[in-house]
Amino acid sequence: MHNPVPAGVARALAAAGVTAVRLSFRGAGGSGGEHGGGDPERGDVVAALDALAGVAPGVPLIGVGYSFGADVLLAVDDA
């Protein structure tokens, strides 16, 4: 969560009035759990998107990923 790229994107989105959510994948930084290599993290992204859709139905959701996060987002999109 301390990488300047996703942090900068989140700040820019917030400055533009867009609500941004950043995920800290399991086993990364201070997050608990163990890094799963992509499969469990894909499920985490789907769960987060489902939760957001439940809170704000009808609002478009746009995923932005960097490095491993981009790979996971692409895998979610392919599923």
Identity of residue 33: G
Mean pLDDT confidence for 32-41:
88
Mean pLDDT confidence for 32-59:
90
Q: Is residue 16 part of a domain?
A: no
Number of domains in the chain: 1
Q: Is residue 40 part of a domain?
A: yes
Residues whose CB is less than 8 angstroms from the CB of residue 77 and which lie 6 or more positions away in sequence, other chains included: 63
pLDDT at residue 28 is higher than 90? no
Write the pLDDT tens digit of every residue in 52-66. Answer: 999 988 888 888 889
Q: What's the domain range around 40? A: 23-78
Q: Is residue 59 part of a domain?
A: yes
pLDDT at residue 1 is higher than 70? no
Q: Is residue 38 part of a domain?
A: yes
Distance separating alpha carbons of residues 26 and 10, to the nearest angstrom: 20
pTM over 0.85, yes/no: no
